[in-house]
Amino acid sequence: MWADILKSIDSLFEETVEIRRYLHQYPELSFQEEKTAKFIAEQYEKLDIPYQTNVGGNGVIATLTGAKPGKTVGLRADFDALPIQDEKNVSYKSKIDGVMHACGHDAHTATLLTIAKALKAYQSDLKGTVVFIHQHAEELAPGGAKSIVESGALDNLDAVFGTHLWSNTPYGTVQTSPKEFMAGADRFSITIQGKGGHGAMPQQTNDAIVIGSQLVSNLQHIISRRVDPLDTAVLTIGTFQAGTTFNIIADKATITGTVRTFDPNLQDRIIDEMEKITKGTCTSYDATYSFDYEKGYPPVVNHPEQAALVLRAAAEVDGVQKAEEVLPSMTGEDFSYYLLKKPGAFFFTGAQKEGHVYPHHHPKFDIDERAMIIAAKTLINTVKLYQK
């Protein structure tokens, strides 16, 4: 049976690509994915697989119950897009101005729908239950995973698995970790209020750009001088906005950025250091400030047994040249909420497109669509091994 299911994934490849490219042309932003959710629900309607809509928001969850007793396994795919203008010259370029699937969530959705179709054909021989979790709003905190967990949708699961098609990794590679895999991802905003004035008379002003520049430099000392080199942390300044024209000294500057950590204690220590440095820097320049810090998704921490299962499953897939453990990534993912609730594992499926090396969240991001086959087969093999 399982060999036949895997063969059906190959035969469904053109359909998988068609779904992925349709979704790529009609992306929707986080928490606005109503048409995408409707499209997903329609596919399960056609497959005659029971489903629920509006789970935790725009989430769609379908349940395929096999004819034989067994465990209940959840498989997750996200389906929101990003506020990015698609700059690719392809037939399936986004038709929605300023919105793009620049992270592969369209492919995740197409992959999971294909798995559902392949397994449905063998429902009478299937052991246990497979729950297909189509999650909204992965890209924007508080994310969709948290509300889906809070809805109780995972309560009956024995384990949960998911993958991210990864454009930084060569096709044919599957990667995971038996413990920490992706970092906790926070965001912050600092507004500095100085005193503006004429560019020719700086003595009458309190230059917010100068103060902000000093603050940016000072904040970098947290990682280089306040954090143990054996600990892992990132503090990145993403934006610095100030000023209106060349000859006016800015009265206000706004700095935003992100902090990435694995250890909650280290996370709290960095927040404390940021507050002290911001206060100290602004006070020394007689400026006022506001400091807003938002804790985001927790770290993705895999369960060792389930992570090992994924690598075993991947090693059995034709086309997988390497199934390996890797060091953690400092990127973030709200799949972490599922792993706090249930045993499971998250993994990367290499999807680097030859001659098209653009990272996630880039206007020219794209994937090697063959990676969807490897992702589907790895997840199916994981279900198979978990049911033994």
Question: Catalytic residue positions?
Answer: 80, 138
Antiparallel, parallel or unpaired: β 68-78 and 159-170: parallel
Q: To 10 degrees, the CA torsion angle through 195, 198, 202, 204?
A: -60
Two structure tokens written together for 253: 């500057």
Is 296 in contact with 184 (CB distance < 8 Å)?
yes
Give the CA distances from residue 209 to residues 232, 236, 241, 361, in Å, rounded to whole numbers and listed in that order: 30, 18, 9, 28
136 is in an annotated binding site: no
Spatial distance between the Cα atoms of 148 and 290, rounded to a whole number of angstroms = 33
Annotate 99-134 with b (16+ C-beta within 10 A) or e (fewer): bbbbbbbbbbbbbbbbbbbbbbebeeebbbbbbbbb
DSSP string, 167-199: EEEETTEEEE-SSEEE-EEEEEEEEEE-B-EET
Question: Which of these, 362, 299, 302, lies nearest to 163 by C-alpha position?
Answer: 302
282 is in an annotated binding site: no
103 is in an annotated binding site: yes
Give the CA distances from residue 91 to residues 22, 88, 110, 312, in Å, rounded to whole numbers and listed in that order: 10, 9, 18, 37
Annotated binding site for Mn(2+): 103, 105, 139, 164, 361
